[in-house]
Structure formats: C-alpha cells, structure tokens
Amino acid sequence: MKNTLLLVALCLGLSHFALANEDSRASVRTRLASEYYKVGQYPIAVDEAKKAIAADAKYVLAYNVMALSYWALGDKTTAADIFKQALKIEPNNSDVNHNYANFLCANGQVQQAETHFTTALSDPLYPTPENTMMAAANCALSNQDNALAAQWYKKILIQRPNYLQAKFQLSNLMLKSGDLPEAKRLFVDLYRSSKPTPVELLWLGVRIERAIGNKTAEQRYAKELLSAFPDSVEATKLQIGKYD
C-alpha cells in the first residue's frame, strides 16, 4: 500500500512538473518571439511562436505574436486565421481583441473592428483601456467617421481628462464640425499645458480663431508659429493662405 501511494504521488508530481515545464517553455518562447517581433525579425518571431504553441497549444499570447508577425510580413490571410484561432481559445482576451481590431481597421472592416475594440474594453481589469479607446478613435478617424471618432475621444477624456492627444484630436474635430466654442475651450486647455507649444497646436489655434473671426488672437498665434517654426509646413500654409 505504501509503495502504491508513493507511486501515485510521484506520478502526480511528475505530471504537475511536466505541465509547469510546458507552460514555462511556451512562456519563454513567446517572450523570445515578442523580442524578435519588436526588432523586425518577423520570420524568427513566427518560428519562436510556433515552438511556444508546440509546447502549449492553448497559449494565447503565442498566437497573438504570431498573428502580428504574419501581418507585418504581409500575409493577411494567415494573420486573420491565427487571430481567430486565438479568440476561439480566449474570446474575451483584451490584447488579442485589441490587435485583431487594429488589423480589421487597417483592412477597412471598421464595424467589425469596433466590436473587437469594445470586447477588449469589457474587462474591468484591463490595464490600458485608454490605449484601446485611442486606437478605436484613430480607426474611426482614418475611415472618415468623425462622429464616431469624437465619441471615442470624449470617452478617453472622461477617464483621463489630461490626455493631450485625445484633447487635440477632439478640438480639431470640433473645429471641422463647426462647434467653435468647444474647439476653442479644448485648444485653450492644451495651449496652457503644452510648453513649448508644438507647431501643430499653434496651427490649430490659428484656424480656430480665424473661424471665430478673432483677428487679434489669430495673428498672435500666427506670429508665434512663424517665429518658432519658420521652415515648417504649417508656416508655408500660413504664408500662402491655405487654411484647410
């Protein structure tokens, strides 16, 4: 009886050790794949991700890196298939949904992308929701859906009122939509908190004040832009009167 119990204990222990070891190999290979991906070594990243999956067929992070690598290599069909495999294993994985949404957006599938951005944000413990919301906003913006983009930028600013890029983009959209008071309010907040003032922000200020009809403020921002950035594209546009 003692020998039998000892044998069972050893089997359980070895099985547990083997599983932990497999998980460790998958994790190590996936980390290697990620590092190769970061430096643009996409074929090697794919190979390392495959080794991770061979060690643990349900290791979602490996599928994630592999899909991104195939996408970077221009193999969109394989990338899409691997993203889908990952989501079959973990349908609500925020990282995979975020990346797959970006992939869909880049291929013009905005509505499907919106669904996956929303799924990525459904995890209350997701550490970087503002990054996903920013990606969703930029996706909408790149596909000329300014209203949807504005909704996303507003959501970001509810969570992070000082997110400067979201505030800048929203101010620009408010200018385009004709909501000049809101465009100016956002711009003034940015102008006060962005020193030295970047050329893009000064150019936004020029265009907002021009649309409002405030010549004094328009000329003030124009003078600052020309003084600080005389060789910029914005300075050229200002000098030839191209404000669109």
pLDDT at residue 14 in the model: 30
Q: Which of the pair, 98 or 21, is modelled with greater confidence?
A: 98
Give the pLDDT score at 125: 87
Give me the mean pLDDT over the 211-224 stretch.
97
For range 32-50, the mean pLDDT: 95
pLDDT digits (tens, 9 = 90+) for 101-121: 999 999 999 899 999 999 999
- Looking at the whole model, is its pTM more than 0.85? no
Q: Which residue type does 2 have?
A: K
- DSSP 3-state of 169: helix
CA–CA gap between residue 31 and residue 51 (Å, rounded): 11
Query: What domains can be seen in the chain, in order of their start residue?
Result: 26-86 (1.25.40.10), 91-160 (1.25.40), 162-243 (1.25.40.10)
Q: Which pLDDT score is estimated for 13? A: 34
Q: What is the mean pLDDT of residues 120-125?
A: 91
The one-character DSSP state at 195 is S
Tell me what pLDDT residue 23 has. Answer: 54
Going by pLDDT thresholds of 50, 70 and 90, the confidence category of residue 18 is very low
CB 50 within 8 A of CB 77: no
End-to-end CA distance of the chain: 87
Average pLDDT, the chain: 89
pLDDT for position 21: 45
Q: Based on the number of CB atoms within 10 Å of its own CB, is 73 exposed (0-12), middle (13-18) or buried (19 or more)?
A: middle
Structure tokens at 42: 């996409």
Find where tokens 């944000």 sit: 121
